[in-house]
Structure 1
Amino acid sequence: MENKMIIGNALEIGIQLEYIIELSSPSGLFNFIIDDRLIPGKGIVTDLYVVISSLKDSLNNKLADGVIDIGEIPLDDLDFSNGAPENVLWLDVSELSDYGCVFWLGFDRGFERLFYSTDFEKTIQEKIYPKGTIEKLINSLPDAKDFIIRRINKEVTITDVTV
């Protein structure tokens, strides 16, 4: 049995993290939890430092540039064929894209519209959350440099975070 770290509210939207092995930097599991699914749901040697820092940087740099509301434009009317549609932020999930995962964030007044694909952009799905949900979730991620693997016994390890 392993203890998994969950950031956010797994019943709404969350992120599963587990530091499994030290390669060139802390590596392990990184999954979004959306609608009772782990996305991408594979990969146990994901570079946690790269994924976390890329995700935070892509969100915060674009938010600093200012956000333009996309309103209630229906998903079917948004063109993702050349990347992020106008006024939609691309969220850099680094190597998770190797598994077909791509994420974007748009805003509609008091709501955030999370667009995502799990099949290399063949299909795009959408979830709507109260404004600030995704920003808070991403910025709540601990820095990978603060992860520690705590071995309980030969079979059990726990990811701890030093802060």
Structure 2
Amino acid sequence: MLIKHNDDFFIQWDTTYYIRNNMELGVFNFWIKDQAYPGKGTNITLAPLFNDLISNLEEINNINQDLGSIPLNQIDLSLSNDQLVSLDTGELFQYGLGLSIGFDKDMERLFYTVDYENSYSEIILPRGTFIETLKSLRQFASHGM
């Protein structure tokens, strides 16, 4: 399954195992600039992961100041504040994947790590891309795929 609101950023997942009580395990990746993250793991519990990701929406909506164009190397991504939210990536963090988001006017600044927060990269997206992507997961979150 793909959820895509932008060519440079989208979500892909697939079920690899069905277990009792409609629990589905599978692969899950964020595609950022033609690269899959975390790019590993075949037994991620999908519906709980979707719930974890969706739970970030409220905090993102509470960001009340733009981060602006501060260079990435000058941002403390370990802290959530009124300009930046460190996101709950659920089981994906066991593979080193972490995300943070802030805004610069009509753009989203999405920061991502694949090495347990030792280093970060950034993608700049039109404002609403990440939020709409998370909202699109709602239909899959509470009930199975």
TM-score (norm 1): 0.79
**2:34 paired residue number:** 36
Cα distance, 1:95 vs structure 2: 0.7
1:115 to 98, 111, 114: 111
The aligned residue for residue 70 of structure 2 is: 73
Q: Percent identity?
A: 33
Post-superposition Cα deviations, 1:110-151, rounded to whole Å, max 9, x if no partner, equal: 00000000011111100001101110111112314241xxxx
Measured after TM superposition, the shift of residue 43 of structure 1 is 0.6
RMSD, matched Cα: 1.8
Corresponding position: 1:97 with 2:88: no
Tell me: CA distance 1:10–1:131, structure 2 relative to 1, closer, same or farther (3 Å).
closer
Aligned pair in 2 of structure 1 residues 49, 146: CA closer, same or farther (>3 Å)? closer
Q: What residue in structure 1 maps to residue 125 of structure 2?
A: 129
3-state SS in 2 of match to 1:43: coil
Q: Secondary structure at the match of 1:143?
A: helix
Q: Per the alignment, do residues 86 and 78 of structure 1 end up closer, same or farther by CA in structure 2, a change over 3 Å counting? A: farther
Q: Runs ≥4 in structure 1, deviation > 4 angstroms? A: none
Match of 1:20 among 13, 16, 27: 16
Q: Counterpart of 1:62?
A: 59
Q: What is the number of equivalent residue pairs in this alignment? A: 141
Among 30, 49, 52, the residue aligned to 1:51:
49
Taking structure 1 as reference, are residues 85 and 118 closer, same or farther at Cα in structure 2, changes over 3 Å only? farther
Displacement of 1:19 in angstroms is 1.6
Q: Which has the larger radius of gyration?
A: 1
TM-score (norm 2): 0.88
Distance 2:90 2:52 in 1: 6
List gaps (5 residues or longer) in structure 2: none
Gaps of 5+ in 1: 148-163
